[in-house]
Structure 1
Amino acid sequence: MLDATFIYSYENGKWVRCTDAKYVDKDIEYTPCLTVVEYTGYPYDYYHALDTDYIFCPIHNTIEEIEEISDNHVVSQEGCCLDGLLGHASLKLSYMPEKHEMAFVPYRWRVFQRTPDKSTNIACDVMKVQYCRNGIIRRWLNYSLAVDFVKDKVMVSKIKQIDNTRIDWTETDIDVPDVVVETAIEAMRDNTLCATGIKPSVLCQIKNKTTLLGYIERPFDVNIVFLKKFFQEFIKQDDTDVFDEIFTKEEKNNYKIICDLLEINPPKGLRKAYAFNPYAIVWYMIFKQWGIKDINFMHKFFYLDDCIANLYLHRFHYDREEKCVTRDVAIVRWIVLEFYCKWLLEQKGEKKMLKWLYVVSRDASMTELQWDILNSFHAFYKDLSEEVIARLLKDGLTDYVHDAISTEVTALSEKWESTKVKYNKIEQTYACRINGYEFRLLPNTRMLSKIGAAFNNCVATYRDRILNRESVIVYVMNKEEYSACIELKKGCHIVQASGKYNRQLDREVNNVCFYWAKHNHLEIDVDDIVPMSPEELKEFDDVIVEPIPYEKSIDEMNLEELVNIDEDKICDGYYLMLEWALRHSNKYPLSAPYWMEFTDEISRLTYLLPEGERIFKAAGSGNTEAMIALGRMYFRGRVIRQDYDKSLEWLERAGQLGNLKGCMIAHKVRDYMNRDLSDRDRAILLGLSELRHRVAVGGLG
């Protein structure tokens, strides 16, 4: 008979088999248990500090800081000595108590089997722990899983969710310790022998909940269960899951089926590797599409089961149409990684490229700075200087290379068309002043190059993700000093926050950023911003958060706002936008009385159309953008009388002063004048020109 109990050993850092009767024999409700609590997120009432372990003291019914801790023994700072099973609860706090997350904490695992021909039972005593203002609320639950291959029965206890639906507890994030998995699988192997006359071998090096459930589903090949995602395009036919038809439960040679599906004839070493690691197949297919030939260089990768350069292997799948390995999640990162690996392969050969890839995959050591380098390299490869590319090839993904690429990308990004970045009402509130620091929203994509130069980072490459509303960039200034660059994703999650050269924020800036995040109910998903202690937070008790009003860009303004804008707010694109607004107003071209005399053309135009005064005076003063706007007005004849000669005159003046756009439009006007165009042709050409103009000034997203 098998009757094994497992508890967590704090000193060994893992689950171990327990023989102590006081922890094995009693019901969990009557067994001494200790709840160690770690708070994450934000301290709602400043009562509990973060990154500090606490113990729930049943004597005083309070949370107390831990002074000493060892296996089954804790001493609190208040002097309470407590003995019992240790369970660790990580509680994520929110600003609103009703939204504090709860934790499900395993305290004791059991594996029981009366005889090999009877069911194998896996049970766990779990405590549901939830934060409340005065401490924590605890409640005992018992989860069980019973498997009987002789009777072909599986029974799983259910867990009730917030929406009152019920799911198997195995679908939660509670993982099963390695030692429990190994013990349970060994018992189920004996049960399978009684049912089928065969005792399956389980060589899989991965020991987790998927392995346990995989054995229940496919006892003769646990590994194939790990590859369901990889073969997702093969096992779906007309919205029907045909996994059971392709990989049957009784099949003992799925490897051959895999090779047939993928149309491969792999080396012999892959079959052995697959027996230990299901993701060996994924590695082989990646190397195959990269054109790598030497199996000796591949071999050590076949036993890495976690990730390829921080990208989880279990999220890859095989694209049947393109005949390649790809991903749905973090697809951009996979594209840039593959691009870099292929380039490195071409430049340095298989051995050196795979040596680098093995290290970053084995240690999961790719940093955000290194991903920034890869993103920039992929996006600007054709435009980067030979010096920077040579430095990347020699030094790899170093800080120096990051700075060099950042400088070049920032310069290149200045050539992009500037597009207004628009924000919703919640995002607009992020702009504010705190203790002399200003948190500013990115006004337009042109500003990316300025911020990239100020911080010497790769923020200039974020243009597309910002316009696609995947990211929000907030930069922090203290007077004229750039202090922090912050990226938000998923609505309200801070995923990056750093100073110049991607360095960690100094303490003062860090504390202001933390308070700003707290004030705006933002989640901090990284360690870039260090939480403040309760004492530090008290220093902000009297701080006033001063909102910075959201300022419209010129493309968001109506005609009246454009006409009355302050002189110091006039920027690039203003005169073109004012011309567009005038043309789309209800105004019509006027004529001056015959008896009126004007000293010059600008005076005459100002009298006929006072709202266009700024365009006329700026054009007369030599502003080339205003000249182009006036040339357009003469050409279109919407709010001033149409005059092709005058249009050409002003456009050519702009061109003579070095405005290439003026030269291009003047050429088009001259072409119009020399061609016999119908009204319909002219309307189409003007419409296309109008569309291009709207894109140029940021009118189209």
Structure 2
Amino acid sequence: MNANRRIFYYNYEDDIWQESKCNENNVEYRLKKLNVYDNDYSTVYLPMIWSVELRENRIVELILYTKALTIENGSISNTQYKEWTIDCDFDNHIMQGWPVSLIRNTKRNWRNGYVCGANIAFPELLATTYVDIPVTVIDVAIEYLRDVAKDRFGFRPSYLGNAHGLNNLIAFFESPLDPNLYMLKDVIGEKNYTNMLRSGCFDTYRELCKLFGIEKPPSSLRKAYVMKPENLVIYIFLRNCGFADINIIRRFFYREEIFGYPLLKLHYDDITGQITQNSHSGYAISYFQRFCRWLLSHRSEKAIASRILRWSNEKFSHAAIDTLRMFIAAELYENEELINITIVHRLINEGLTQEVHDALFEDLYIIRPDIADPFHNRKKLEYKNTTYSYNDKEISLETTIEGYDFFLPKDTKELQKWSNKFHNCVACYDSMIINGNSLIVAMQKEDKYVACIEIQQRKITQALGVCNTNLSKEYKFIINIWAKVNNILYVYK
């Protein structure tokens, strides 16, 4: 076998990719798991093997070997073998795939198989758009690209952070000296991104700070940026909200969303210095920054930090969005006397609740009906509590190691409780748990929550303490023991 070619096999029983060979795949078992026999006609794609190779022409090639099955009237009528390929030609700066939809920058979400009904005109294009590319495969591909890049730069570019699918491969391919620059492409805009690439700067972090108007970045911000580029977006957002204490701002780090908006999809306006969101309710992000600065004119950063953290872990409700709209339209940040002082106090102490919204609406309607909008008719959002489903192997993660207890959340309500206990954004992972993309585990010591752990594909991708702080050596040691017992990869320092 070519020494520069590594092969990963799909273990359908544990739903993971591994380099050691698996038992012969039981196609019938996998089809039953996908419930394909309920349809009169289906095309099913079953992933079998991923290979990653550094070829002699210096192209890094990733291939997924699949079985394409045609199901008709409850039985297999046709079987074909497919090869889906990604070629990374670093020297000529060309990345291409076949089918072409394979390299579409889309969130990946299926591993065991993909089912297309009879109404899908091009099922293979659809299947390749959403196929999961394993973390291990991306890791190997990036290592090969680092070898190729050495000839251009004279050194192997470093790669820190966790690889999560195609997006990270594209990021390293596009910007090998700082893959995080690519991750921030939507935030800074195409023009700024292209200019930074063309400049060939070796310290893009410093250039980004200049762009964002961060004259004296805190020393801890660079490390946070390297580990997760979203941290820089959060820093700018909170700075615009009026926060200045980095010790408080750090409590918001290591998240992917804020108020339900993906941080890497937000936009920085380099003229106004504002963080915005392009959507029908995108103004809420900008308005909240103004609202938060007003709150800080009445309360200290420390006093409101926990409330802002809790609010940011959930999506804006219709009531919250409309409250912000009225607050800005009436310029209440400069004209508090326009409304009843009781409502001012409720805005400060209770925030953007349905009750505060209704009180503000009624008060404004008397003096400024054009702002309150007499046709306003929104309903409360219904809260949905979902019970999580785990298989036997996942349930076995709940155990006790040397006096430390490990637990899985039972439902959405308990996950929200954890988010409040840890002062983090773990409540945002509700849909990822439901879809089977992540496992969240809490570690306790004598009923005290000490660590929040995320697992993807039998690999710990995050393990942090309260307020997203780094864990002590003792906690890391216990997690390492627990991970080994459960055959989970945990890399820590």
Q: Structure 1 residue 339 and structure 2 residue 296: aligned?
A: no
Q: Matched residues in 2 for 1:262 and 1:205: separation?
A: 25
The structure showing larger relative contact order (alpha-carbon pairs under 8 Å, at least 6 residues apart) is 2
Q: Matched residues in 2 for 1:171 and 1:261: separation?
A: 37
Deviations 1:94-130 (A, max 9, x none): xxx9xx9x99866245132267984332222457799
Residue matched to 2:446: none
User: Which one-letter code corresponds to 2:358 in the other structure?
Assistant: S
Max radius of gyration: which structure? 1
My pick for the range that moved more, 220-229 or 136-145, is 136-145
Correspondence list, 1:626-641, <5 A: none
Match of 1:319 among 262, 265, 269: 269
TM-superposed deviation, 1:299: 2.8
SS in 2 for 1:172: helix
Q: Structure 1 residue 142 and structure 2 residue 83: aligned?
A: yes
SS in 1 for 2:38: strand
TM-superposed deviation, 1:131: 10
Correspondence list, 1:121-520, <5 A: 121-125=61-65, 141-149=82-90, 154-159=95-100, 172-193=129-150, 196-205=153-162, 207-232=164-189, 234-235=191-192, 243-248=193-198, 251-265=201-215, 266-304=217-255, 306-329=256-279, 330-361=281-312, 363-364=313-314, 366-368=316-318, 370-371=320-321, 373-375=323-325, 377-378=327-328, 381=332, 384-397=339-352, 401-410=353-362, 412-413=364-365, 446=374, 448=375, 452=377, 459=378, 502-503=381-382
Residue matched to 1:55: 35
TM-superposed deviation, 1:355: 2.9
Match of 2:8 among 5, 8, 18: 5
Match of 2:60 among 120, 124, 149: 120
TM-superposed deviation, 1:271: 2.0
TM-superposed deviation, 1:409: 1.6
Decide whether the 8 Å contact of 1:129 with 1:136 is kept in 2: yes
TM-superposed deviation, 1:21: 4.6
Decide whether the 8 Å contact of 1:15 with 1:179 is kept in 2: no
Decide whether the 8 Å contact of 2:322 with 2:357 is kept in 1: no
TM-superposed deviation, 1:148: 4.5
Residue matched to 2:16: 15
Q: Matched residues in 1 for 2:228 and 2:275: separation?
A: 18
Q: 1:137 to 1:231 in 2, by over 3 A?
A: farther
Q: 1:191 to 1:328 in 2, by over 3 A?
A: same
Q: Structure 1, unaligned stretches of length 5 or more? A: 25-30, 38-52, 57-61, 65-96, 236-242, 419-444, 453-458, 460-484, 486-500, 506-526, 528-701
Decide whether the 8 Å contact of 1:206 with 1:277 is kept in 2: no
Q: Matched residues in 1 for 2:7 and 2:99: separation?
A: 23
Deviations 1:492-545 (A, max 9, x none): xxxxxxxxx65579xxxxxxxxxxxxxxxxxxxxx9xxxxxxxxxxxxxxxxxx
TM-superposed deviation, 1:10: 6.2
TM-superposed deviation, 1:172: 3.5
Q: Matched residues in 2 for 1:135 and 1:405: separation?
A: 57
TM-superposed deviation, 1:225: 0.6
Residue matched to 2:27: 32
Residue matched to 1:107: 47
User: Which one-letter code corresponds to 2:20 in the other structure?
Assistant: T
TM-superposed deviation, 1:273: 2.0
- TM-score scaled to structure 2, two decimals? 0.58
SS in 2 for 1:296: helix
TM-superposed deviation, 1:215: 1.0
User: Which one-letter code corresponds to 1:324 in the other structure?
Assistant: Q
Q: Matched residues in 1 for 2:314 and 2:271: separation?
A: 30
User: Which one-letter code corresponds to 2:301 in the other structure?
Assistant: E
Q: Matched residues in 2 for 1:356 and 1:132: separation?
A: 55
Decide whether the 8 Å contact of 2:43 with 2:68 is kept in 1: yes
Q: 1:407 to 1:282 in 2, by over 3 A?
A: closer
Q: Matched residues in 2 for 1:387 and 1:410: separation?
A: 13
Deviations 1:627-673 (A, max 9, x none): xxxxxxxxxxxxxxxxxxxxxxxxxxxxxxxxxxxxxxxxxxxxxxx
SS in 2 for 1:264: coil
Deviations 1:393-412 (A, max 9, x none): 33445xxx423532552564
Residue matched to 2:447: none
SS in 1 for 2:160: coil
Q: Matched residues in 2 for 1:131 and 1:372: separation?
A: 50
Deviations 1:72-101 (A, max 9, x none): xxxxxxxxxxxxxxxxxxxxxxxxx9xx9x
TM-superposed deviation, 1:216: 1.3
TM-superposed deviation, 1:224: 0.8
Q: Matched residues in 2 for 1:253 and 1:127: separation?
A: 45
TM-superposed deviation, 1:340: 2.9
Q: Matched residues in 2 for 1:121 and 1:291: separation?
A: 48
Residue matched to 2:439: none
Q: Matched residues in 2 for 1:364 and 1:206: separation?
A: 26
Q: Matched residues in 1 for 2:9 and 2:17: separation?
A: 5
Decide whether the 8 Å contact of 1:117 with 1:150 is kept in 2: no
TM-superposed deviation, 1:202: 0.9
Q: Matched residues in 1 for 2:126 and 2:169: separation?
A: 14
TM-superposed deviation, 1:145: 1.0
- TM-score scaled to structure 1, two decimals? 0.42
